[in-house]
Amino acid sequence: MTSSAANGGTALDRFWTGDYYNEGVGGKDSIFDKLKEECGVFGVFGHPDAANLSYYGLHALQHRGEESCGICTADEESFHYHRGMGLVKEVFDRDKLEALTGNQAIGHVRYSTAGASKLANAQPLVFKYRGGDLAVCTNGNLVNEPGIRKELEDSGSIFQTTSDTEVIAHLIARSPKDLVQAVKEAFARLIGGFAFLIQTQGRLIAACDPHGLRPLVMGKLGDAYIFASESCALETIGAVYVRDVQPGELLVLDQDGLHEDRFAPMVRRAVCAMEYIYFARPDSDIYGVNLHSSRKRMGQQLAQESFVDADIVTGVPDSSISAAIGYAEQTGIPYELGLIKNKYTGRTFIQPSQELREKGVKMKLSAVRKVVEGKRVVMIDDSIVRGTTSLRIVNMLREAGALEVHVRITSPPFMNPCYYGIDTPNPADLIASSKTVEEIRQAINADSLYFLSDTGLIDSIGGHDEEFNRGLCMACFNNDYPTPVEFEEAKTTSCGCD
Amino acid sequence: MTSSAANGGTALDRFWTGDYYNEGVGGKDSIFDKLKEECGVFGVFGHPDAANLSYYGLHALQHRGEESCGICTADEESFHYHRGMGLVKEVFDRDKLEALTGNQAIGHVRYSTAGASKLANAQPLVFKYRGGDLAVCTNGNLVNEPGIRKELEDSGSIFQTTSDTEVIAHLIARSPKDLVQAVKEAFARLIGGFAFLIQTQGRLIAACDPHGLRPLVMGKLGDAYIFASESCALETIGAVYVRDVQPGELLVLDQDGLHEDRFAPMVRRAVCAMEYIYFARPDSDIYGVNLHSSRKRMGQQLAQESFVDADIVTGVPDSSISAAIGYAEQTGIPYELGLIKNKYTGRTFIQPSQELREKGVKMKLSAVRKVVEGKRVVMIDDSIVRGTTSLRIVNMLREAGALEVHVRITSPPFMNPCYYGIDTPNPADLIASSKTVEEIRQAINADSLYFLSDTGLIDSIGGHDEEFNRGLCMACFNNDYPTPVEFEEAKTTSCGCD
Amino acid sequence: MTSSAANGGTALDRFWTGDYYNEGVGGKDSIFDKLKEECGVFGVFGHPDAANLSYYGLHALQHRGEESCGICTADEESFHYHRGMGLVKEVFDRDKLEALTGNQAIGHVRYSTAGASKLANAQPLVFKYRGGDLAVCTNGNLVNEPGIRKELEDSGSIFQTTSDTEVIAHLIARSPKDLVQAVKEAFARLIGGFAFLIQTQGRLIAACDPHGLRPLVMGKLGDAYIFASESCALETIGAVYVRDVQPGELLVLDQDGLHEDRFAPMVRRAVCAMEYIYFARPDSDIYGVNLHSSRKRMGQQLAQESFVDADIVTGVPDSSISAAIGYAEQTGIPYELGLIKNKYTGRTFIQPSQELREKGVKMKLSAVRKVVEGKRVVMIDDSIVRGTTSLRIVNMLREAGALEVHVRITSPPFMNPCYYGIDTPNPADLIASSKTVEEIRQAINADSLYFLSDTGLIDSIGGHDEEFNRGLCMACFNNDYPTPVEFEEAKTTSCGCD
Amino acid sequence: MTSSAANGGTALDRFWTGDYYNEGVGGKDSIFDKLKEECGVFGVFGHPDAANLSYYGLHALQHRGEESCGICTADEESFHYHRGMGLVKEVFDRDKLEALTGNQAIGHVRYSTAGASKLANAQPLVFKYRGGDLAVCTNGNLVNEPGIRKELEDSGSIFQTTSDTEVIAHLIARSPKDLVQAVKEAFARLIGGFAFLIQTQGRLIAACDPHGLRPLVMGKLGDAYIFASESCALETIGAVYVRDVQPGELLVLDQDGLHEDRFAPMVRRAVCAMEYIYFARPDSDIYGVNLHSSRKRMGQQLAQESFVDADIVTGVPDSSISAAIGYAEQTGIPYELGLIKNKYTGRTFIQPSQELREKGVKMKLSAVRKVVEGKRVVMIDDSIVRGTTSLRIVNMLREAGALEVHVRITSPPFMNPCYYGIDTPNPADLIASSKTVEEIRQAINADSLYFLSDTGLIDSIGGHDEEFNRGLCMACFNNDYPTPVEFEEAKTTSCGCD
C-alpha cells in the first residue's frame, strides 16, 4: 500500500480521481478495504438501442463507480447481461454490446475494493425465480440489511454476494404475490438510503427510499423512459429530463406505459448534502439545482463568511474548481491554477514508492510554482476527512513558494459516519470529531481555516426556500439522521452495493 | 459458424480437441449451444499447498473441461476463491494462487458454450448460508433437477445460475439439520449421475451417485486427502491412489480425519462406458482398469471380431491411437501415422473460411500422404455420432491416396441420449438411431465398417469378471438406463455443471 | 470512422483528448492517417532510479503523445529498453521497469495513427553501430529529411522506420569521427524544428534546433541531470529547473559532468507559439513564461480587443479554461461551466454511431443546460482549424438554450501549414486560408467571432519584451517561417517522430 | 528459473514442447538465454488470400518456433505487415489478417529467449532502401556473420537487431546492382546453413545455402507458388508439392513467373540429420523422405542393432513415438503408453516450485504406473544432450514400478556444436563429449543404453542410396562440417534468426 493510502487523506477526494485502483492493491489489511462508496444506476425502457444507451449513460455516471460495471437487457426471449471489473469503456466492446439485445436495460457502475474474486458482486445481479428472470441494481445502503439477511438465512436462504441487492431479490422471490406487490412489501421493510432499478421481461421498476437520500431522475427519449442516478446521463444520451423520482415512490413501466405508485408515504425529504458538495457531476441537477452553480454559490458564501486578504484563489481539482471561481468572483481576488492534476492516472498507474515520494516525486497532484511562488493563497476544498491529504496539499503549496495558505472548506466539519451509502472511516479517524477548528488548522499547517456554516451551505444549495432547506440530509455534519440507525448489527460504513 | 460444426461430426471427438471455442462462436443458433459435456473436480484436505496442488490437479483434468475453471480454498478466517473463463493456465497466475490461502480446497474444470456472460456459471459456486460459507462443485447431471428447482422456486428460492450445483446448495441450506445430515438428505432426493465435492471451513465432503456413473477417486499425499475425477491427477501431484469413491458413498473429512458414510444403499454399479472408450485420459485408471490398456484391448478385440486384410492401421488422434496399436499388434498389420493433428489449435485459432476449406485448407487434422498413398488403410475410431466427421476423415484419407478405407469403431452403435452428463445431440441426429451399419458405411464412404460388439466392449474393459461386466452403464448403446429417466421435465442432453 | 472524424474539427483539440485512438480505426482512408503530431522526450543522467524517474517524467508529458512510448536505459553492461503501443501506464509495469537497470535513460511519448504494425516506430530507437549501442529519440520535424534520406538510400542505407530519428542515427554512424563530433556534423545538416536526446553507454546528448522551435528544458535532481520537453516533468519528479536548452545548443553529459557546446550559432529564436496557445501543459513554463498565466492573459487581451456584452463566459475544456477565466476577470462577466468534458474517454471508448449521434448521444463534450439556458454566452477556444468542431460546439450550446454565442479565439487565424512537428491538414482544409472572418462566423453559426491579434498574442505571451516577442514562430498565422521550407520533397504535415 | 532448466535436460526435446516460454522467465542468467533454435519460413506468390494462407502455413510450422511470428504482404501500393510475440494463433486475429492485403506474402515463426524487448527481432524484417520496400526472413545461421557485420559497421551501417537477416538486407542495399544480382552477390559471401525468403513489391525470392543444410520446399496452389520450411505446410493449405529447393539455388518469382537461378554451384548436399531425427513434423517429407517413416525405420534399425528382452516398449513423447512403434514391430515386444505428456502446458503454465517438484508434483511428463509397474521397459528417445532429462525420465519410470529401463537412442552420441541454426549448449555440457556410453548409462541410471550407429541412422533415413547417404550433415555426431567453421568470431551456438 502506498503511504498516501496509509496516511489517509480525504477519502472523498479520491472518489473522484480513481485512486482506489492503486490503493486497493494494498490487500486486505488496507484501511481502504472497508471503504465502500457511491454507485450509479441507469435504466432504459422502450428503446431498441437499450444496451448502447446504457453504455453511454453509465459512461456519464462513471465518476460514481470505477471498479466494476454491468448491463442487463431483456428481449422477448430472455435476459442478456455482461458484467466485469473495470471502467465501462474497458468492460464493454462492440461485440459485447451487440449481444445485449432488447429494448429494455438496467445498468450499474460500482465502487469497492479491487480483486477479481469480487466479480461476483458486480451488478446488475440477475436471478431466476418463480416469476421468471429478475435483474436488480442499487445505489445506497440498507441500515437494517444485516437483520433481514440473518432472518433469511435462518429460513434457508443462500447468498452468493454480500450485496443488499441480493437481499432484496430474496424478499421479492419469497412473496407469493405479484411482482409489484412483492416489491412494495419488500421495500416497506427497508431502512436506509437507496435508489433501486428492477427489471423483469416486460417490466422495469424504479424506486427511491422514503427520504430520497440517493438521487434518481427520470427522463424521456422519444417514447422511451430513462432512469439515471444523475441528470448528466440524460443529457449525454440526448434525453429530456422529466422529474426526480420522489421519496418513497415506486415507478413501474410495462407495456401499458408508466404507472406512478409508492411503497411508502411521503415523509421528510433528506437529500444527501454531499451529493451537492462533492459527489455529483457539476453538470448534473438534483431536484432542479445545478451542481456547478450551487458549488459556485458555496464559494461565494464562503467569501462572505470568511474573507481573507490574499493574492490568488485556487481550488483543489477537480471538485473544488467551481467553488474557487465563486470565491474569486465574490472577492475580486484572481482565480489561478495553483494546483494541477494529471488526468492520466488510473488503475494501471504505478504509484511512486515511498522512497521516491520522499525525494519529491509527485502523486497525481502538483502545485504550480510559477503561479503560487511569493503569493498569499486561498485554497478551496470541499471537505476534510482525516486531514492528511489537506496537510499534504498545503505543504505542497508552501514548497512551491506560497507565502500564506488560507484553507476554505465548502462544507461544515465532517464529524459523523454515513449510513446511507457513503463510505466513511471510523469516527475516531474523522479529524473534526475530536479536534477544534484551530487544532485542525494546526494539523494541516494552514495560516487560517474556515468551514462553511450549516446555514451557509443550505443557502448555497437551495437558496432561501424554507421547504427545500429542510430537505437535506446533513447528518454527517449535524448528527441529525433521517432514519433510525441504531440497529444491533447496523452497517455503518458501507455501500450496500457490495 | 464453421461448416464443420454445421455438418455435425462426432461431437465426442471434439471434446478432446478444444474445437468448441471456435465453433461456439456461431452463437445461439448453433447446434452446439445445446451441447454440454463432462467436467472435472478436484479436492484437497489437510495440505498447506492446497491451492497449488489444485492448480496442478485441475491441469491434469483439463481435458474434461476447457471452458472455465475455478478454485475455492478455506483458511481459518474465510473462503478465498477465483474463477474465470479459459484454461487453468490462463485463469490462474502466481498472484492469484498465492491469494488462495488455506489447507483445504475444491476446484473444477468445466465445458460449455462460450461467452463471458456465463462466467456466473463457473464453479465452484460459493454461498453464504446460516451455517457459514459453503462451496460446491460437481461433475455429472441430475435427471430430476427441473422438478426440484421448480419446487424450490415455488417456495421462494432464487437462482443465479442454471447449474445443478446451486440446486444442491439450496437443498442443503433449507435443512435445519447439521451439514452432513443436510447433505445426506439432499442427495437422497437426487436422481442422476454425479460426483460432488462440498466444502465448508474445516470440512470437505465427497460423494458419488448411487450407481457410480461418474468417476471419483480418493488418494493421499502424506497425511492430506485428495479427491479427483481421474487418477491421473493423483499421479500428477505425486499422491498415492487409495480407492475409488463407491456408488452412494459420502466421505466426510474434518479435523478428526476421514468419516466413511453413505447417503444411499449400494445398488447396481453402472460406470459410464464412454469414460473407458473415450473421455478419460489414457493414463488414468477407473475402478482399477487402466484406460490405455483397455483401449488397446478394444483394438485387439476388434481385430478378432473383424479382421480385414490391409496394408496399414491408423488411428484417429488422439483418442484412438491406443486402440489402433492394439489392432495392429493383433493382426500384424503395421501401425502407421496416417493421420496427424496439429497440437496448436485452441480457442484463439482462426478456423479456415468455408471457401478456403473447399480449396483444401485443412482443419487441424490432416492425412499423411506419404504414409497412406497406395495403401489399404484400417482406420480406428472410438465412436460415430452424426457420421459427418467420419465421412470427412475417410475422404481425407482417400484424397491422400488411400486405396481402401476400412473403418473399425471401438464401441457399439451410439443410439440413445445420455442423461448423466455427456451431452448428446437429438436422438434424430444420431446416425445409428435410424440407419443400419451398411447404410452408415455408405454414408461415411468406407469400404467396410464394423462396430465393436457389446460383449467385446465389456470384455475389453473388464475382462471376463462377471461382477465387473455388470458394472457398466451402456445405455447409450443398449437403452438400459440404470435410473428412471422419464420425468416430465427431465434434462436429457446437458451436464448439470451448467 | 466516426463522422466526427470525417467532418474534421479542430485537429488541435483532438490532440489533447485522445480521440485519435478511435478515429484512427477508420483505416488508411481516414483523413487522420496523415496527421502526425507532437511528441515528448525525457532524459536522466546519473541517477540510480533512471527508469522510474523516466516513467513519472513521461507520464507528466503524456499529453504530448498518447499512442506509444518507450524507455531505454544503459548500465555498465548494456542497453535495456522497452517500447509499446499505449499510454505510459499501460506499456510499463513494475517488472518491465525493474528490468530497465542503469543510471541513465532516455524516453519518449509519441502520437500518430494507431496500428500495432507501427510499433516499429515507437521510440527511443535503438541501434548498434561501430561505436557500440546508440539510442535516439526526438520531438519535432526535419524539413529536409526526405533529401537526406534519399541520399542515404542512394549510398546503400536501409530504413526500418519512417522516422527522422533513424536518419540521424545513420548520419552519426556514417561519420568516422568520435560521437560528439559526429553528432555535431549530423545536426549541422538538419533543417527544421526539433529537440533530440541521444544516449550511448556513459553519455547523454541533448540538443535543440537552431531556432529553438521545440522546447527542451534541463533540470537537476541532486547531482543527476534531467531533460524534458516541458518543465512540468521536472516538477513531477521533484527536480529543480535549471534552464531551457538554447537554440543550436548541444549539451553532453558524461562521467566528467556537463559539457556545454553548440552545433550551430545562435540565430533568431523562434519558439512555437502554438506551444503557448495550446500544446504545453498549463503548469509548464517555456523560457520562463508560465502557460496558464500566458493563456489567462490571452483571455484578458481578447476581452480588451473584443468585448461583448453577455451573461456568461465559458471555455472549451480543457485547453481554454485559463483563457476563459482571464476573459471573465477582465470583463466582469461571470465564468461558468457551460461545457463539460467526460474525462473517461480514451482508446477503448466506443464512439457513438452516426445514428445515435444524430439522435443526440453526445461525444465526450456536453453543454450544461442549466448553466447556458437563456444566456448570452461568450465561448473561448484556442484555435479554429477546419471549423467543423467549432460549429458543433456552438450548435450544442444553442440546443442547450443559449440565446447568443459569441466565439473568441485566443490565436490569430490558422492559415499556413506547420513544417516543424505539428500536424496540420492540407492548407485547403484550413478554413481561415480561404474564408474571411465573417464567412467563418457564418460557417460556425456564431453570433460574433473574433481572433486575437498577432500583437495581442505576442503581448500575452511575452509581455512587452521586444527581444522576447521576436522570439516566437508564428508562421502558421503569418507565413513567416524561420527556416527555408521550400524543398522539392519537403515534409509539410508530419512530425518527424513518425 | 525452474530447476528443470537448471538441470538441463535435452535442449532438443524442449524445442518440441514449448517449455522455453516458462524456462526463459529465469532471465539473463538462465542457461537458456544462449539457446537459439530453429525457425520456419513460409511464402506465397500469386494468390489473393496470401495472408490467410500464410497464417495456416505458419500454423503448420509452429513447432519450428513458438516465440514470435510475423507476416508481411505486398499489394500494388505498399507492404503490410504485422509481427508479435507468441503463437501464430495468438499474434493474429481476423482484423489483423484482413489488413494484410495483397497477393504475395512471406512469413516466419521464430524461437528464442522470451522478452517483449526482443519484439524488434521478430521477422520478417521490413526495410526501405533505394529500391523500395524489402522484406526478409530466414531460417538457419551464418557462420561468418560477425565478420560481415563488423565490416558493415566499420563502413557506417547501423543495426536494430542481432539477426543475420538484417546483415543480408544491408548487403543487398549496398549493392548498386539490380535486386536479383544484388541478392546473388550478397549470398555468395555467406557461409552457413540457411533458407531465405525475400520479398519486394512484385517479386519473391527463395534461396537455400550451397549445402542445403536447412530444408525448403516449393509447392503450387493453382497458379500460385508456395514456399515452406516443411512440406506439411503445403499439405495444410491444400497445395501440391513440386520439389525441394536445391542447395545453392535462387528461385525468383515475378510477373513473368518462375525463374530458376543459382547463386552458388551445386556442391555436396548436406541436409541436417537432426531434421530427420527430431525437428521436422512426422508428416513432412524432406527430399522425398517421410519423417514418420524414417523415424520408424530408426526404431527398427535400433532393434536390429541392439535387441533387449523386455516386456514393453515406450517412446518419449511426442518425437519418439514413431521410433518406439518401429522398435516394437521389429521385436514383437508390445508398444505401450508408458509415458504421457500433458498437452495443455505452454507459455502461461506455472511450473511447479522446486519444493513441490521434490514432493512429486510432475512436470508435463508422467510415467503411467499401471502400464510400467513390474515391467521391463525399453525407452526410446531421439537424443541425449546433457543427460539430465534422460535421468529424470528413467527415474520416473522406476518410481512408477519399472523393473528395468533400457534406453535406446535413435541417433549417435551428440558430441559437437552445430553452426547451422540449431542451438547447442557449450561442448563441455554435451555429456557425450566427455563420457563413454557406459558412463552415460550410469549417469542416466539406465540398465542398458545404446545409440544408433552412424550407418544405421543413414540407412534409416535414406535407405541404401549411396548418393543420398552422402547427402546428410552429421557434424554434431561425427565432426565432419560441410563448411569452414573456424572464424575468429564464428557464431557457434545460435540461430541467425536472432
- Predicted pLDDT at B6: 27
A180's grid cell: 409489484
Residues C141 and C218 in one domain: yes
> pLDDT by residue (tens digit) across B312-323?
999 999 889 999
- Predicted pLDDT at B441: 98
Q: Any idea which of A170-179, A481-490, B243-252, D74-83 has the lowest mean pLDDT?
A: A481-490
Residues C439 and C297 in one domain: yes
Q: What letter does residue C335 receive in the DSSP assignment?
A: B
Mean pLDDT of the region A153-180: 94
Alpha helices (H) along A364-416 = 369-372, 388-399
pLDDT tops 70 at residue A109: yes
- Predicted pLDDT at B465: 65
Contact C340 A370 (CB under 8 A): no
Mean pLDDT of the region B280-301: 95
Best to test chain B binding among A83, A95, A160, A200 (most B CBs inside 10 Å) = A160
In a 3-state reduction of DSSP, which class is residue C226? Answer: strand
Residues A87 and A75: beta-carbon distance below 8 Å: no
- Predicted pLDDT at C489: 52
Q: Among residues of chain D, what percentage have pLDDT more than 70?
A: 87
Q: Which residue has the cell 525448403?
A: D216
Mean pLDDT of the region A140-154: 93
pLDDT tops 80 at residue B482: yes
pLDDT tops 50 at residue A34: no
> pLDDT by residue (tens digit) across C473-496?
999 999 999 999 876 554 444 444
Of B39, B137, B232, B497, the catalytic one is B39
Mean pLDDT of the region D101-107: 98
Residues A97 and A232 in one domain: yes
In a domain, D321, yes or no: yes
> pLDDT by residue (tens digit) across A283-334?
999 999 999 999 999 999 999 999 999 999 999 998 899 999 999 999 999 9
Of the candidates C60, C345, C362, which has its C-beta nearest A342's C-beta?
C60
Touching subunits for chain D (3+ Cβ pairs under 8 A): B, C
D439/chain C closest Cα distance in angstroms: 40
- Predicted pLDDT at D467: 64
Residues D235 and D357 in one domain: no
- Predicted pLDDT at C346: 78
Point out the domain boundary residue: B233, B268, B303.
Answer: B268
Mean pLDDT of the region C29-45: 61
- Looking at the complex, does the CB of residue B348 fall below 8 Å from at least one CB of chain D? yes
> pLDDT by residue (tens digit) across C82-93?
999 889 999 999
- Predicted pLDDT at C466: 63
Q: How confident is the model at residue A344 (pLDDT cuts 50, 70, 90)?
A: confident
Residues B83 and B68: beta-carbon distance below 8 Å: yes
- Predicted pLDDT at C348: 79
In a domain, D445, yes or no: yes
Mean pLDDT of the region C134-158: 94
In a domain, D202, yes or no: yes
pLDDT tops 90 at residue B105: yes
Best to test chain C binding among A311, A312, A321, A342 (most C CBs inside 10 Å) = A342
Among A324, A278, A277, CA closest to A303: A324
In a domain, A370, yes or no: yes
Annotated binding-site members of B for Mg(2+) = 319, 381-382
Say which residue, B234 or D359, is predicted with more confidence.
Answer: B234
- Predicted pLDDT at B71: 98
A234/chain C closest Cα distance in angstroms: 9
- Looking at the complex, does the CB of residue B146 fall below 8 Å from at least one CB of chain D? no
> Domain containing A382 — which CATH number?
3.40.50.2020
Residues D261 and D288 in one domain: no
User: Using CB atoms and an 8 Å cut-off, which of residues 207-266 of chain B contact chain D?
Assistant: 221, 232, 235-239
Of the candidates B81, B159, B169, which has its C-beta nearest A117's C-beta?
B81
- Predicted pLDDT at A421: 87
Contact D160 C126 (CB under 8 A): yes
In a domain, B66, yes or no: yes
- Predicted pLDDT at B361: 85
- Predicted pLDDT at C354: 85
Residues D121 and D221 in one domain: yes
- Predicted pLDDT at C173: 96
pLDDT tops 70 at residue D21: no
Say which residue, A237 or C12, is predicted with more confidence.
Answer: A237
Of the candidates C89, C92, C282, which has its C-beta nearest A344's C-beta?
C89
Q: How confident is the model at residue B346 (pLDDT cuts 50, 70, 90)?
A: confident
pLDDT tops 50 at residue D498: no
Say which residue, A183 or C423, is predicted with more confidence.
Answer: A183
pLDDT tops 50 at residue B117: no
Mean pLDDT of the region D431-460: 96
Contact B290 D368 (CB under 8 A): yes
Amino acid letter, C435: K
Best to test chain D binding among C30, C117, C127, C498 (most D CBs inside 10 Å) = C117
The average confidence (pLDDT) of chain D is: 87
Contact A359 C232 (CB under 8 A): no
- Please report residues of C whose CB lies closer than 8 A to that of D160: 125-128, 160
Residues D249 and D318 in one domain: no
What's the total number of domains in chain B?
2
- Predicted pLDDT at C23: 24
Contact D370 B285 (CB under 8 A): yes
pLDDT tops 90 at residue A4: no
Mean pLDDT of the region C83-112: 93
> pLDDT by residue (tens digit) across D328-372?
999 999 999 999 998 887 777 888 888 888 878 887 889 999 999
> pLDDT by residue (tens digit) across C221-280?
999 999 999 999 999 999 999 999 999 999 999 999 999 999 999 777 899 999 999 999
pLDDT tops 70 at residue B12: no
Contact B56 D356 (CB under 8 A): yes
- Please report residues of C whose CB lies closer than 8 A to that of D174: 156
- Predicted pLDDT at D118: 64
Which residue on chain D is closest to B52 by alpha carbon?
D352
Best to test chain D binding among C158, C179, C198 (most D CBs inside 10 Å) = C158
B and D touch per CB criterion (3+ pairs under 8 A): yes
- Looking at the complex, does the CB of residue A287 fall below 8 Å from at least one CB of chain B? no
pLDDT tops 90 at residue A21: no
Contacts of A199 (CB under 8 A, 6+ apart): A43, A72, A74, A104, A105, A106, A124, A134, A135, A136, A205
D118/chain C closest Cα distance in angstroms: 9
pLDDT tops 80 at residue A112: no
Distance, CA of C308 to CA of C305 (rounded, Å) = 10
Of the candidates C283, C318, C348, which has its C-beta nearest A89's C-beta?
C348
> pLDDT by residue (tens digit) across B158-195?
999 888 999 999 999 999 999 999 999 999 999 999 99
C343's grid cell: 474525462
Mean pLDDT of the region A105-123: 72
- Looking at the complex, does the CB of residue A78 fall below 8 Å from at least one CB of chain B? no
Q: Any idea which of C18-22, C206-210, D90-94 has the lowest mean pLDDT?
A: C18-22
Residues D258 and D372 in one domain: no
Distance, CA of A259 to CA of C493 (rounded, Å) = 60
Contact D173 C162 (CB under 8 A): no
pLDDT tops 90 at residue C343: no
Mean pLDDT of the region D83-95: 92
Among A173, A156, A167, A121, CA closest to B131: A156
- Predicted pLDDT at A464: 61
- Please report residues of C whose CB lies closer than 8 A to that of D116: 82, 84, 96
The average confidence (pLDDT) of chain C is: 87
pLDDT tops 50 at residue A35: no
C312/chain D closest Cα distance in angstroms: 48
> pLDDT by residue (tens digit) across C163-212?
899 999 999 999 999 999 999 999 999 999 999 999 999 999 999 999 99
Q: How confident is the model at residue A267 (pLDDT cuts 50, 70, 90)?
A: confident
Q: How confident is the model at residue B354 (pLDDT cuts 50, 70, 90)?
A: confident
> C315 — phi, psi (to 5°)?
-115, 150
C429/chain A closest Cα distance in angstroms: 30
The average confidence (pLDDT) of chain A is: 87
ipTM score for this prediction = 0.87
Of the candidates B126, B130, B134, which has its C-beta nearest A154's C-beta?
B130
B120/chain A closest Cα distance in angstroms: 7
Mean pLDDT of the region C133-155: 94
- Predicted pLDDT at B192: 94
Mean pLDDT of the region B353-378: 89
- Predicted pLDDT at A349: 82
Residues C47 and C125 in one domain: yes
Touching subunits for chain C (3+ Cβ pairs under 8 A): A, D
User: Using CB atoms and an 8 Å cut-off, which of residues 425-484 of chain C contact chain A?
Assistant: none
pLDDT tops 70 at residue C337: yes
Distance, CA of D183 to CA of D197 (rounded, Å) = 11
Inter-CA distances, D186 with A279, B2, D145, Å: 69, 46, 12
- Please report residues of A whose CB lies closer than 8 A to that of B115: 99
- Please report residues of B whose CB lies closer than 8 A to that of D348: 89-90, 93
Return the bridge partners of A200, or none. A203
- Looking at the complex, does the CB of residue D337 fall below 8 Å from at least one CB of chain B? yes
Contact A94 C350 (CB under 8 A): yes
Contacts of D257 (CB under 8 A, 6+ apart): none
Distance, CA of D321 to CA of B92 (rounded, Å) = 32
In a domain, D234, yes or no: yes
Residues A336 and A452 in one domain: yes
Range of the domain at D301: 283-342+350-463
> Domain containing C239 — which CATH number?
3.60.20.10
The average confidence (pLDDT) of chain B is: 87
Touching subunits for chain B (3+ Cβ pairs under 8 A): A, D
Amino acid letter, B46: G
- Looking at the complex, does the CB of residue B130 fall below 8 Å from at least one CB of chain A? yes
Residues A328 and A404 in one domain: yes
User: Using CB atoms and an 8 Å cut-off, which of residues 360-389 of chain B contact chain D?
Assistant: 360-362, 366, 368-371
In a domain, A209, yes or no: yes
In a domain, B18, yes or no: no
- Predicted pLDDT at A36: 42
Q: Any idea which of C221-235, C392-406, D104-118, D399-413 has the lowest mean pLDDT?
A: D104-118
Q: How confident is the model at residue A426 (pLDDT cuts 50, 70, 90)?
A: confident
Residues A363 and A4: beta-carbon distance below 8 Å: yes
Contact C336 A296 (CB under 8 A): yes
A54/chain C closest Cα distance in angstroms: 11
Distance, CA of A155 to CA of D82 (rounded, Å) = 60
pLDDT tops 90 at residue A175: yes
Q: Any idea which of A201-210, C156-165, D15-24, D394-403 has the lowest mean pLDDT?
A: D15-24
Annotated binding-site members of C for [4Fe-4S] cluster = 272, 418, 473, 476
C373/chain A closest Cα distance in angstroms: 12
Of the candidates A81, A99, A128, which has its C-beta nearest B158's C-beta?
A128
Residues D222 and D366 in one domain: no
Return the bridge partners of D138, or none. D196
- Please report residues of D whose CB lies closer than 8 A to that of C157: 129, 157, 173
Total beta-carbon pairs less than 8 A apart between chain A and chain B: 80
Q: How confident is the model at residue B7 (pLDDT cuts 50, 70, 90)?
A: very low
DSSP one-letter string for C397-455: HHHTT-SEEEEEESS----S--SSS-----GGG-HHHH--HHHHHHHTT-SEEEE--HH
Say which residue, B116 or B40, is predicted with more confidence.
Answer: B40
- D95 annotated to a ligand binding site: no
Q: How confident is the model at residue A118 (pLDDT cuts 50, 70, 90)?
A: low
